[in-house]
Amino acid sequence: MGKLLLKVPEAAETLSISRAKLYRLMDSGEIAYLHIDRSRRIPLSALETYVAQLLAKENAA
């Protein structure tokens, strides 16, 4: 079974974006995340949802 939760650097690499951009997306609510203790973890499903939303916007234009 693959990872369900990714660390910020892993999630940024998965999306091919910078960590700073990922933090902005999380802070704006565009990508969901969890706090585990004082660390942020991003569910893989949150990345899939974000990409699906981008594709939907692209196809609607």
pLDDT in tens, the chain (61 residues): 789 999 999 999 999 999 999 999 999 999 999 999 999 999 999 999 999 999 999 999 7
- Taking the domains of the chain in order of start, what are their residue ranges? 5-60
CB 15 within 8 A of CB 22: yes
The DSSP annotation for 13-61 comes to HHHT--HHHHHHHHHTTSS--EEETTEEEEEHHHHHHHHHHHHHHHHH-
Q: Residues, the chain, total?
A: 61
* Predicted pLDDT at 61: 76
* Predicted pLDDT at 2: 84
* Predicted pLDDT at 15: 98
